[in-house]
Every structure is written in C-alpha cells, then in structure tokens.
C-alpha cells in the first residue's frame, strides 16, 4: 500500500524554498545554469528556473540524458529509450545547478557529472533534489534537498509530476 508523503502544494513549497536558498548562496553570480536529469529532473529544473527568474536571477535551462553514461546500461534494458541532452556550451567557469527528483545510490548523479564534464568545465556544480532517501553507494551529497526520508532498499519512492504523469505528488510503497 502506498503512502503519500508530498502533495502538489508541498512540492511547490519545497521548490520555492530551494530557489530562495540558491539565490541566497549565489547573490553575486550573473547566470545560473539549471540542468535537469531526464525524466523527472527536467520538469523540476524548469519549475525551479521559473522561481529563480521570479527572484531576479538570470537562468539558462538545460536537460541531460545520462543513458550512455550509466554503469548499469547493459542490465537495465536491451533497447533503452534515449532522449536528447541539451546543455549550453557556455558552462565553462559558470555555476551549474543539477536537478533530479530522487537521490538514492548516487549513481545517476555520478553519470550526470561525467556527462557535464564532457561539455565543459563549470566553476561549480551543485545538486538540488526533491527527495533524498539515503542509501548511497558512491560519495555524492546534495547541496539542496527538498525533503529527506530514510527508508530501506525494499521501498520505492514514486515521484509523479504533471508534465510527465498528469499529477503531482510523492508516494512511498514497499517493493513487491
């Protein structure tokens, strides 16, 4: 049985809080490059970018498909669905805010970092996640976290976003 831990209103509030913290930490930055990891990190990145703009920051938005950078590519699917990455070539010496929905093992973020470095050499890369569920397998830590939940590996965090799923919310349920 699934248990809802965040509503649409909660997600909106958490993104607003993250945006305020980003602006506070980067008052002297001209432009922040917000890059979302496909699939649900990208809509979150777009929402976060809108909030940053509303707070007066200049923002460039991009997306990242880490499929070919995964260390488990051969284990997930024989024919993976690959989406295009869209990153500004101007990221050298700039602040990049990488956005994803859930931080778990850290392997997705590790793959994203490798891909970003193939595009350029940012001054700084920060990570914003809606949910940090613990359970790291690689030493990755988010700079900005919406909500932290400590749950075992036998549970799934299911993030739904209107842009992808038709509704907003976050649920936790036991793996069957």
Architecture of the domain spanning 3-174: 3-Layer(aba) Sandwich (3.40)
> 3-12, 64-73, 109-118, 139-148 — which is least confidently predicted?
64-73
Domain definitions of the chain by residue range: 3-174
60-78 pLDDT, tens per residue?
Answer: 999 999 988 877 655 556 6
pLDDT tens readout for residues 6-58: 999 999 999 999 999 999 999 999 999 999 999 999 999 999 999 999 999 99
* Torsion (CA) 52, 55, 59, 63 in degrees, nearest 10: 10
Residue bearing tokens 């973020």:
109
Instruction: Find out whether the peptide bond into 39 is cis, omega within 30 degrees of 0.
Output: yes
């Amino acid at each position: 049985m699934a248990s809802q831990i965040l509503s649409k209103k909660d997600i909106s509030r958490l993104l607003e809080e993250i945006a305020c913290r980003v602006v506070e930490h980067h008052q002297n930055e001209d432009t922040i490059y917000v890059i979302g990891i496909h699939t649900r990190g990208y809509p979150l990145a777009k929402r976060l970018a809108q909030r940053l703009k509303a707070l007066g920051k200049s923002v460039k938005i991009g997306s990242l498909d880490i499929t070919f950078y995964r260390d488990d590519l051969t284990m997930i699917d024989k024919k993976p669905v690959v989406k295009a990455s869209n990153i500004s070539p101007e990221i050298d010496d700039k602040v990049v805010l990488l956005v994803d929905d859930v931080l778990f093992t850290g392997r997705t973020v590790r793959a994203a970092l490798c891909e970003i470095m193939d595009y350029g050499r940012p001054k700084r890369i920060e990570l914003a996640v809606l949910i940090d569920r613990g359970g790291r397998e690689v030493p990755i830590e988010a700079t900005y976290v919406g909500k932290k939940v400590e749950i075992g590996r036998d549970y799934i965090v299911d993030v739904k976003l209107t842009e992808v799923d038709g509704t907003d919310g976050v649920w936790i349920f036991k793996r069957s």
